Homo-oligomer: A and B are copies of this chain.
């Protein structure tokens, strides 16, 4: 296990706070990635191995709860909430949706960093607990965003990766077209199920030993797809 700097995504629309948090994280030894919108944030989580997401609930393009729900369908990366709202119902909603910690503004930078350290410490331990899937001659390490086949590391595009991640996170469950579309392409793309066929085909091309007779990425006609380990 290499002790590279933890990669932390800071999702916060106010540039001032975003920079303030990022600077603190950098002093802490992390590599902060700044995202001004929820969509940017999700994209950054996909873009590389992510160790922590620091999320402001007040975003312009998506509610924080939606962000958490979306992310949680395909990733277990720790989430620390920053919020101007200190009401108990807000905290409960965020934590129950999948957040790991909730810090109300105004907060001390010392406490923020201590909570960040606690989450990173936990997550590092979880790493050993096997976040990597194996099926056929394919090995997928979702937390490091590495997929390899027969020992040979292979490249997946963002959509290919997100599609695979959603399917792995729901192994052996049937996922409807609509559900997959909304998880991978975002809300509002519930209909055009044709995209799915194209990317499922590409995944099969890259992962299945015989793409014509898929063993793991199975189609449930008229319903959706299912991943079989």
Which residues from chain A sit less than 8 Å from chain B, CB to CB? 76, 88-89, 91-92, 95-96, 98-102, 108, 110-111, 113-115, 117-118, 121-122, 125-126, 143-146, 157-158, 172-174, 220-223, 226
How often does this chain occur in the complex, in copies? Answer: 2
Partner of A144, one of B89, B99, B114, B174: B174
Some 20 contacts from A to B, beta carbons below 8 A apart, are: A76-B125, A88-B110, A88-B111, A89-B110, A91-B111, A95-B111, A95-B114, A96-B114, A98-B121, A99-B118, A101-B101, A101-B118, A122-B122, A122-B126, A143-B173, A144-B173, A145-B223, A146-B172, A158-B221, A158-B222
Q: A111-B91, A173-B143, A174-B144 are in contact. Are A158 and B223 (CB under 8 A)?
A: yes
Output the nearest chain B residue to A159 by Cβ-Cβ distance: B222
A89 contact set on B, CB distance < 8 A: 110
A118 touches B145 (CB 8 A): no
Partner of A145, one of B98, B157, B158, B174: B174
A67 to chain B, nearest CB (A): 16
Output the nearest chain B residue to A99 by Cβ-Cβ distance: B118
Partner of A91, one of B114, B144, B146, B172: B114
What are the 4 closest A-B residue pairs judged by CB atoms, nearest first? Answer: A95-B114, A145-B174, A92-B114, A158-B222
